[in-house]
Amino acid sequence: MTQRTPSLPASLLAASLLLTVAACGPKDDGAAGGPGGTPGAGVASGTVIGGTPERGGTLTVLSDQDFAHLDPTRNWVMPAMDFGTRLLYRTLTTFQARPGTAGGTVVPDLATDLGRSADGGRTWTFTLKPGLTYEDGSPIRAQDVKYNVERSFSPDLTGGPGYARQYLSGSAGYTGPLDGRHLSSIVTPDDRTIVFHLRQPVAEFPYTVTLPTFAPVPPSKETGVRYDLRPFSSGPYRIQSYQRGKQLVLVRNTHWNPASDSVRKAYPDRIVVKMGLRGGQIDDRLIASSGADASAVEWADMSPASVAKVLPKPGLRARLSAEPTGCTEMLYLNTARGPFTDPAVRTAMQYAVEKSAQVTANGGPALNDAADRYLPPILAKGAAAPVYHVPPTGNPARAKELLAKAGKPAFSATLTVSTGDKNRAEAIQASLTKAGVRTQITTVDPSVFYDTIGDTAHAPDMTIGGWCPDYPSASTFLPFVFDGRTIVAKGNQGNYSQFRDTAVEHRMDQISAMANAGEAAAAWQSLDATIMRESPAVPLLWPRKPLLVGTNIAGAYGHSAWTGQFDFAVIGLKDTSKSQG
């Protein structure tokens, strides 16, 4: 397990934690994506592709999809969070721009340090660096960070992480600043000082404030839900133009001061994101690497169908990054209505799903491992015994036996997936058919996928999705995925199974209150097995994130904090004279 150790008081380091991501992003056309598999021989891992970039030129990003959200209070799906926090806005702290485990180090960003704690870790104070400005040259104030944190409570601005709601004292019933109300638990005694009063000690708060929730938004620029279209830049780039579903163009923010920013290098002059392309088409263009495509990278994961084109050829393989993302992908079973209200029916699904077919559909064993539990390897603390001893090919006979005992020898269920997961959905459909389950598949565009499955009243019976820990602690995984108290009617995040179990929730509270990190880790492992026996979801994969670059790309590596996505803070071009676009 990679540990990230900031300079915190030893008394507060109950565990050294990292932020890797929150919700795993939806897939592109046949995209793979997720966590820790075993890389194929020769796949770049922990290394920089292309050397050091030159300053200038146009970096092109080829994408099959638009951004789910760019508003920093709503941005919690990778890789949009990487893109936003590295290019458009800065946060109080951030992650070092380094490949491999070194990228796990948290460093100051807007703040002068990693924060100063008091009251046993219940109070955290940050001081902003002097002279920070927005894209128009106006000053960035501590009050603007406070305002954006408050925005995260607004019911209309859904989709973002809930740590502010979870940690801040006196926040119960608060609904955001748009009606003029403000949180007393965030104090800004002057323009450069912000103080957070928490309801409980939080040793890892310097990691929490790497999230885009803790970026500044000036109240004068508030546009509600339309802020997604034009966030006001505090980072090295600003939005020049944005055509939803077609193209986003970023140009330099001339008021960004590189002397205040030790992380972002901002090598390209322009960054152009071209959307609406097919995943396989993007792969082929990058394999050919001609014209402007030589200076391009892909946004979503390389198509599994392209693996056979790339891995056998050393020249292409050298342009492939395949970093682990530390996540678990699952088949979520909607426990809020039949047929999956019955735990016996859900248990049968553990035997019915053929995980080897999922590995094949998602790029093969070079880029994936079959998952046998919810907690990913980064959180497993060693080998954990599986609850269900099911071969990778599944056990349809056992599934049929369990369904018959449950009085459901045959039934129909709906399965909604992102468009790029259609092949995986069809593989699940085929395996479930062997167990007597008829599956109706619906595909949804990636840009609205999480909004669709997050509408609990209209959620499907099943969906494919993933979760990644915000820190290498199960406290940032299991409660978000299986705590029924996190479920909301619209914009539901994580608990797509709509799983509610008061005993599980009570145990989560007990573990969260444990002072000994080792005891808590063991308790989370035990709870993982307990939840597995209830089977609200079927763990599917622990994959890697395969991404191709063009021949003129330099400084490219998958960052450990961004689920293996390229670190846009430092990527650029080898030769700017060859730049096109």
Tokens of 269: 């002059």
Cα distances (angstroms) measured from residue 303 to each of 415, 477, 495? 21, 27, 27
The answer to whether 23 touches 469, Cβ cutoff 8 Å, is no
Cα distances (angstroms) measured from residue 244 to each of 66, 129, 562? 7, 34, 24
Whether residue 139 has a cis bond before it, omega within 30° of 0 = no
d(CA 324, CA 546): 9
The answer to whether 141 touches 221, Cβ cutoff 8 Å, is no
pLDDT at 40: 43
pLDDT at 31: 32
pLDDT at 296: 98
Tokens of 281: 């088409």
d(CA 464, CA 146): 35
pLDDT at 105: 87
Phi and psi at residue 86, to the nearest 5°: -90, -25
d(CA 31, CA 419): 9
d(CA 512, CA 375): 16
pLDDT at 472: 63
pLDDT at 77: 84
* E strands in 244-344: 247-252, 270-274, 296-298, 320-324, 328-333
d(CA 419, CA 123): 44
pLDDT at 19: 33
Could you say which residues of the chain have pLDDT below 50?
Answer: 1-23, 25-42
pLDDT at 103: 87
- For residue 97, which amino acid is it? A
- For residue 478, which amino acid is it? L
Tokens of 350: 């553990």
Who's near 467: CB < 8 A, 6+ residues apart? 22, 23, 24, 327, 328, 330, 477, 480, 481, 494
Who's near 253: CB < 8 A, 6+ residues apart? 135, 233, 235, 236, 237, 238
Cα distances (angstroms) measured from residue 337 to each of 8, 304, 332? 46, 34, 13
User: For 478, what's the count of Cα atoms within 13 Å in the CB-facing half-sphere?
Assistant: 29
Q: Return the number of other C-beta atoms located less than 10 Å from residue 170's C-beta.
A: 12
pLDDT at 363: 83
The predicted-structure confidence for 468-483, as pLDDT tens digits, reads as follows: 887 667 888 999 999 9
d(CA 439, CA 339): 12
Provide the angle, in degrees to the nearest 10, between the axes of the packed helices 422-434 and 343-352. Answer: 110
d(CA 401, CA 344): 11
Q: Tokens 């468009």 appear where?
A: 419
The answer to whether 46 touches 99, Cβ cutoff 8 Å, is yes
